[in-house]
Amino acid sequence: MAGTAFAQSKGKRPPAKTPAKTPSKTPAPSPPPGTPAKGSGDDGGEIEMNPDDAKKPGTGSGSDVNPDEIDMGEPEKQQGDLTTDLNTADQNAGAVKATPLKKTPLSWQDIIVVIRKPFLKVRRTELLPFVGTTMNDNMIRHYTVGGELAYYLTDVLAVGVEGMAYVHAFQEPFDLVARQARRLPTVNEYNWSAALDFHYVPVYGKFAILDRHLATWEALFTAGIGAGQSEVIPRDTKFPGFTNLLIMPNVGASMRFFISKWMTINLGIRDYVFFDHFEPKNRSDTMYATASDAKDHADGSLINNVMFQIGVSFWVPTSFEYTTFR
């Protein structure tokens, strides 16, 4: 009996009267020594073979499948309707007795073992303290300390609020431009920002570390709208600076690594887009000397402040319960 007929297709469970549990009229050859049989209750993401089952050939619903028959290289193809396949197999049952057994290779992709998500987020609150740094400004680098509070409406959708405080440091070109090109760069520093964010988690996965430990992760996209404040750093310190209130939409992508049921590590990139106002050129004692005058004649520019952020999330409630069977 070909194993293909009893392979479970995606999204459909086999009927209660599973043919695999009935005695096979033409049983597949026994697995070679040392080759474990397949168990049906395995929860590994790949097809795991329980060593205990290796001593008991025939255990599990898939035990009549010889691993040697599995065509590992066959590309995944569209799965047919399971009922149709079973009917076809029954109609041809007689022919199988009369003709030599034709073995249909079992595709590796025919055998689906689905595990539960190791981490549920629905109706849980994430508290994320994080730090960040500017990625795309070669004049001034901002470092941030911030936090985000997000509530997951579903397992993939969340709404949250975030806030950040900034400190800055000048980069090498800031001095070089002044010294080599005799030009004083015009830069603004950022003081704070806050935003209302929406998160969507379309990607999740798992990976093995050094072929020993499995870890799970997911990727999420973020879009939000918020506000912030920038402050002009005067080229000549005898002139006062001024502040700008900024409307700051943001988009980003992040990865989350699951450490425990209540803690994750987050890292990602966020682009804060805003229209900033800079100190006007040719500022002097007689022109734009005051902060208000300079602000009225400020030069505007669209800014993309791309930041790398990393933090540790704490989840409340600290645990969760599955609502579906394993």
Partner 1 sequence: MKNHTILTVVSVLAVSSAAYAEPRQNTLAADVAVRHRRLLVKNRFEFAPLFESTINADFRHILGGGAKLEYHLSDMWSVGFVGVGSTAINTKLVDKITPTLEMNVDDKTREPSQAEFLDRLNTMPFHGAGYISFTPWYGKLAAFGQAYVAFDFYFQAGVSYAQLKSNCPSTICSDQFPGVSHTGMDGDTIPPDLNPNNDPPLNSGGHLGVYLGGGIHVFLNDFLALDMTVRDYAFTDNPSGADFNADLFVSNADNRFLHHLFFGVGISVMLPTTVKRTP
Return the closest-CA partner of residue 197 out of 164, 170, 231, 243: 164
Q: What residue type is assigned to position 1 of the chain? A: M
CA dist 88 and 95 (Å) reads 12
- Using the minimum distance from each CB to partner 1, give the nearer residue, 93 or 181: 181
Reported residue count of the chain is 326
Contact positions toward partner 1, by CB under 8 A?
44-49, 51-52, 72-73, 75, 108, 135-139, 172-173, 176-177, 179-183, 202-215, 217, 219
CA distance 209 to 166: 35
| Residue 87 Cβ vs partner 1, minimum distance, rounded to whole Å | 29
Contacts of 62 by beta carbon, 8 Å cutoff, 6+ apart:
3, 6, 20, 37, 38, 39, 40, 111
Minimum Å gap between C-beta 151 and partner 1 is: 22
Comparing CB distances to partner 1, the nearer of 213 and 238 is 213
DSSP-based three-state secondary structure for 178:
helix
How far apart CA 238 and CA 291 sit, in angstroms, is: 11
Q: How far is the CB of 22 from partner 1 (least distance, A)?
A: 27
244-271 per-residue burial string, b: 16 or more CB within 10 A, e: under 16:
bebebebebebbbebeeeeebebebbbb
Q: Which is nearer to partner 1, 102 or 179 (CB)?
A: 179
CB of 183 vs partner 1, minimal distance in Å: 6
Closer to partner 1 by CB, 46 or 90: give it.
Answer: 46
For the bound state, the minimum distance from the C-beta of residue 288 to partner 1, rounded and expressed in Å, comes to 17
CB of 316 to partner 1, least distance (A): 26
In the complex with partner 1, the residue whose CB is nearer, 138 or 290, is 138
Q: Quick check: 198 and 159 in contact, CB under 8 A?
A: yes
Nearer to partner 1, 204 or 262 (CB): 204
Q: Which tokens is 184 given?
A: 């004083």
As a whole number of angstroms, the distance between CA 221 and CA 268 comes to: 9
Q: At closest approach, how far in Å is the CB of 90 from partner 1?
A: 31
Q: Which is nearer to partner 1, 159 or 177 (CB)?
A: 177
